[in-house]
Amino acid sequence: MPLHDKFGRRITDVRVSVTDRCNFRCVYCRSADPENYRPEDELLSWDELVGVARVLHGLGLEKVRVTGGEPMVRPGVIEFISRLRDLGFHDLSMTTNGQLLAESCDRLIRAGLHRINISLDSLDAEKFERVTRTRKFQSVMDGIHAAQASSLRPVKVNAVLVRGLNDDEVEAFAELARSAGITMRFIEFMPLDADRHWSRAVVVPAAEVRSRIHARWPLVQVPHAPSETARKYRFADGAPGEIGLIAPVTEPFCGHCSRIRITADGKLRTCLFSLQDHDLRPFLRNGASDLDLADFIKEKVLEKEHGHRINEPDFVPPSRTMVFIGG
Ligand code: SF4
């Protein structure tokens, strides 16, 4: 039986975080201070991650997005993708900061990866350094070019817009979409940052991004599946590339949510903004059957939140921040 929540939403997608480590330290995600990484033995092993994926596949889930932290920093991630392919998932994608992508692109594809999301929050190398606290701009651009030259499709580039930091680059990012023929996606900043600097004042609404690009290059909306997070647009003049707007704050899309998440330390999260986790490790580490684990997951998914409460007066951000959840 396909997996449904109490609102009748079918759950078809899982985002699997394979590590809480990252080689970047983006200001809208991580703190400048060292984090309390989970000890290695608290993270799920590859066999345990495959075990969870096998059960989810049995529950009718079709799509897996591999996330982190930064998934490429954990040795064995490429083999993990091939094991997901062998389980029968027909849609395998990854969210990466792109730094290690150029050298791994071919192996990822041979392992079964279909599509990729690459984070890039500035086209200015100096600002990139300020945002990510690394000097890896060129290797990320090399990663994007390698993906573009490969069979991975679509290649999506994601920019988290923060007012006063990179919102001046909206048109430049749109130009990149047109010149490189990629899908450029703008993500509204969400209250999941480690330093809790998020406020509504630094959110750049998708409507503003849409009207700024439309004023320069008229856009035409592209039909999308209700459960998709991005609203998609093509250029009316026929230029290649696409624009995607992900607006969880100003235009929430929770009503058709089809996603759950598995954290690197083995917690089921039924919503990005869940205030509680459901620990799968007691099942994985005490010899429980796949059926037992499936029953537990079904039970918890029935409790899935209708949506985030960012726009509600009683909103409380989750104690777990983005690097410990995975995008
Ligand atoms: S905030 Fe939660 S319910 Fe809304 S789309 Fe994201 S995961 Fe789904």
Q: Do the domain assignments include residue 69?
A: yes
What gap in Å lies between CA 73 and CA 196, rounded to an integer?
25
> Which conformational region is residue 112 in: left (phi greater than 0), alpha (psi within -120 to 50 degrees), or beta?
left
Q: CA-CA distance, 278 to 293, in Å (whole number)?
A: 11
Q: Is the pLDDT of residue 34 over 90?
A: no
Strands (E), the chain: 13-17, 63-67, 91-96, 115-119, 155-161, 183-188, 219-222, 231-235, 242-246, 259-262, 267-269, 278-279
pLDDT of 30 > 90? The answer is: no
**Separation of CA 79 and ligand 1 centre (Å):** 29
**Does the bond joining 307 to the residue before it have cis omega, within 30 degrees of 0?**
no
**Amino acid at position 27, single letter:** V
- 56 is written with which tokens? 């989810």
Give the span between the Cα atoms of 3 and 302, in whole angstroms.
9
CA–CA separation, 65 and 81 (whole Å): 10
**Whose alpha carbon is nearest atom 6 of ligand 1?**
272
Which of 15, 258, 308 gets mutated to test ligand 1 (max ligand atoms within 8 A of its CB)? 308
For 94-104, what is each residue's pLDDT tens digit? Answer: 999 999 999 99
What are the phi and psi torsion angles at 125 (to 5°)?
Answer: -55, -40
Which residue's CA lies nearest to atom 4 of ligand 1? 254
Per-residue pLDDT of 42-74, as tens digits, reads 999 999 999 999 999 999 999 999 999 999 999
In a domain, 6, yes or no: no
Amino acid at 2: P
Task: Report the C-alpha gap between 244 and 234 in whole angstroms.
Answer: 9
Measured in Å, residue 258 CA sits from the centre of ligand 1 at: 8
Whether 32 shows a pLDDT value over 80: the answer reads: no
- Residue 4 included in any domain: no
Quote the domain boundaries for residue 161: 13-325
Q: Is residue 320 part of a domain?
A: yes
The number of residues in the chain equals 327
b/e string for 121-142 if b means 16 or more Cβ within 10 A? bbbeeebbeebbebebbebbbb
Position in ligand 1 atom list of the atom nearest CA 307: 3
Q: Which residue type, as a one-letter code, is found at position 114?
A: H
Q: Strand pairing partners for 315?
A: none
What is the CB neighbour count within 10 angstroms for residue 76? 12
Nearest-atom index, ligand 1, CA of 229: 5
CATH at 38: 3.20.20.70
User: Which of 7, 259, 310 to mutate for ligand 1's pocket (most ligand atoms within 8 Å of CB)?
Assistant: 259
203, pLDDT greater than 90: yes
Within a domain: 1: no
Is 110 domain-assigned? yes
- Reduce the DSSP state of residue 213 to 3 states and report it: helix
In a mutational test of the pocket of ligand 1, which residue from 187, 251, 272 has the highest number of ligand atoms less than 8 Å from its CB? 272
Q: Can you state the angle between helices 101-111 and 77-87, rounded to 10 degrees?
A: 20
Residues in contact with ligand 1 by the CB-under-6-Å rule are: 248, 253-254, 257, 259, 271-273, 305, 307-308
| CB contact at 8 A, 64 and 91 | yes
- Beta strand 91-96 with 115-119 is parallel
Indicate which atom in ligand 1 lies nearest the CA of residue 253.
Answer: 5
Residue to substitute in 17, 257, 325 for testing ligand 1 pocket (most ligand atoms within 8 angstroms of CB): 257
Query: What pLDDT is recorded for position 160?
Result: 97
With respect to residue 285, please indicate whether it lies within any of the assigned structural domains. yes
What's the number of domains the chain is made of? 1
Query: How far apart, in whole angstroms, are the C-alpha atoms of residue 141 and residue 266?
Result: 32
Q: In this structure, which residue's CA is closest to atom 2 in ligand 1? A: 271
Q: Give the pair of three-digit tokens for residue 72.
A: 């490429």
* Ligand 1, atom 3, residue with closest C-alpha: 307
Tens digits of per-residue pLDDT, 278-299? 999 999 999 999 999 999 999 9
Cis peptide before 69 (omega within 30 of 0): yes
Other Cβ atoms closer than 10 A to 204: 25
Residue 74: per-residue pLDDT: 97
Are 200 and 227 in contact, with CB atoms under 8 Å apart?
Answer: no
Full-model pTM: 0.95
Q: Measured between alpha carbons, how far is 66 from 186 in angstroms, rounded to an integer? A: 20
CA of 129 to the centre of ligand 1 (A): 30
Q: Which residue has the least CA distance to atom 1 on ligand 1?
A: 308
Question: Does residue 142 sit within a domain?
Answer: yes
Predicted confidence (pLDDT) per residue in 204-233, tens digit: 999 999 999 999 999 999 999 988 999 999
36 band by pLDDT with thresholds 50, 70 and 90: confident
Which amino acid, one-letter code, is at 160?
A: V
